[in-house]
Amino acid sequence: MRPVQWVLFPLAIWGSIAASARAQDDQPAAPPHPRVITPNGEVMSPRAIDDDYNRQLLGLERQRLERLAKLASRQPAKDASATYEQIFRLAVANNLFSEAEPVADQVIRSADSSPTVRFLAHLVDLVATADRGAFDESLATLRGILGEAKKASRPGPPALDSALLLDLCEAYYQRLVQASQLSAARNAFELLAKETTNPAVKGYCTNRLHRLEQVGKPAPPLEGTDLDGKRVKLADLKGKVVLIDFWASWCLPSAEELDWLGQVHADQSARGFQIIGVNLDAAAEGATHDSITPNVRRFVLDHNVRWPVLINGPGAGDVAKAFAIADIPANVLIGRDGKVIHLDLTRRNLAEVVARACAP
């Protein structure tokens, strides 16, 4: 996980919408990707092929987890403990928490695994519980994990590398936010920020809480000049539903999300939905506004972006800082009254949440 110098790649395998961007203002929109006709006559796009590849890859990862679980069940305790740790790390890396939940439950019930593996099993079980929509139960699980850690004779929980812990935090955060469980997310990360002894985890929780605290409050001011030299002012869009999308041209998920952002924008723009892109290429070391503008402009043209794009700047032009953005891709949804109503929408929930916000 890398902070906003600058990119957090989400744990989930990002898919994409295969449909072409719709035309606006009576101008035909070029398809974002060329079509491919397979030998059997099936028409596919390169993105559809990528999606199919990712599905098959996830299937192989599931098979690997199943085979490792069978192996661990036959191994001596010491060897099994190492295999279980491998299973849980693979589950985190591939976002397969539900698939690993039975193994985690087995380890939790057993007295043979090492403290580190048991602790990791509890964390995997925590995210899997949220995956099932049992959010109150997941909060209780989190309290139990932290309570047991405090009771332990050794200081703090078993050591796990910060990168793994941050991936687990992000997975849990995404489950709560995508299900619109924003209050539960605040409770969870307030508790975790208070109890954790890991500086990286504490910093992560603090940032997420800063963002969650914005929900229900007026959005910070945003004003700047887009790539076409037009002034963009958030206050002028009051009465519209506005998504502020933070991205960078070198962030792969930023490129992939443009398909489904464009689809929702086309579907809902007539109902008062507007997107403002905020590019963060200038955050890269040694980058300047002038040096990155040609690349940003080319990226916007290549991906048929049909909404205003600002380049994040210093001082009053630092939109990312105003919205407490510490990693990308990220977004903030603002209602017609100018108040923040949601955060970090993904392909999974964007269309539904925006449609609800735009409803009469």
- Report CA-CA distances (Å) from 181 to 52, 133, 186, 189, 360: 31, 10, 9, 12, 24
The domains of the chain are located at: 45-212, 223-358
Cα 297 from chain centroid (whole Å): 25
Q: Which CATH class is domain 223-358?
A: alpha beta
Q: pLDDT confidence of 157, banded at 50, 70, 90?
A: low
Q: Is the pLDDT of residue 31 over 60?
A: no
Interhelix angle 135-151/115-131, rounded to 10 degrees, is: 160
Which of 340, 72, 63, 28 is closest to 214 using CA atoms? 340
Largest CA distance in the chain: 69
Question: In this structure, what token pair is assigned to residue 193?
Answer: 């920020």
Q: Is the pLDDT of residue 231 over 90?
A: yes
Strand partners for 27: 24
Tell me, yes or no, if the two domains 45-212 and 223-358 fold the same way.
no
Taking the C-alpha atoms of residue 165 and residue 185, their distance in angstroms, rounded to an integer, is 17
Q: Which residues contact 132 (CB under 8 A, 6 or more apart)?
A: 98
What is the rounded distance in angstroms from the CA atom of residue 97 to the CA atom of residue 79? 22
Between β-strands 330-334 and 340-343, what pairing exists: parallel, antiparallel or unpaired? antiparallel
Q: Please tell me what DSSP assigns to residue 336.
A: T
Token pair for residue 43?
């028409």
CA 153, CA 157: separation in Å to the nearest integer?
A: 10
Read off the pLDDT band of 316 (50, 70, 90): confident
When mean pLDDT is compared across 162-176, 246-260, 290-304, the lowest value belongs to 246-260
- Candidates 299, 340, 346, 307; CA nearest to 322 is 340
Q: What is the pLDDT of residue 43?
A: 59
pLDDT in tens, 236-275: 999 999 999 999 988 877 777 888 899 999 999 999 999 9
- Cβ contact 157:117 at 8 Å: no
**Do residues 103 and 83 lie in contact, with contact meaning Cβ atoms separated by under 8 Å?**
no
Taking the whole predicted model, whether its pTM rises above 0.85 is answered as no
Q: Which one, of 216, 173, 178, lies nearest residue 193 by Cα? A: 173
Residue of higher predicted confidence among 91 and 21: 91
Mean pLDDT, rounded, of the chain: 84
Buried b (16+ CB within 10 A) or exposed e, 13-22: ebbbbbebbe
Q: What class has domain 45-212? A: mainly alpha
Predicted confidence at residue 152, as pLDDT, reads 61
Structure tokens at 206: 């603090």
d(CA 298, CA 310): 14
Token readout for 283 is 């955050």
Most confident of 143-147, 319-323, 327-331: 319-323
Measured between alpha carbons, how far is 297 from 318 in angstroms, rounded to an integer?
Answer: 19
Place of tokens 């579907």: 267
Whether the predicted pLDDT of 104 surpasses 80: yes
**Both tokens assigned to 163:** 């990168």
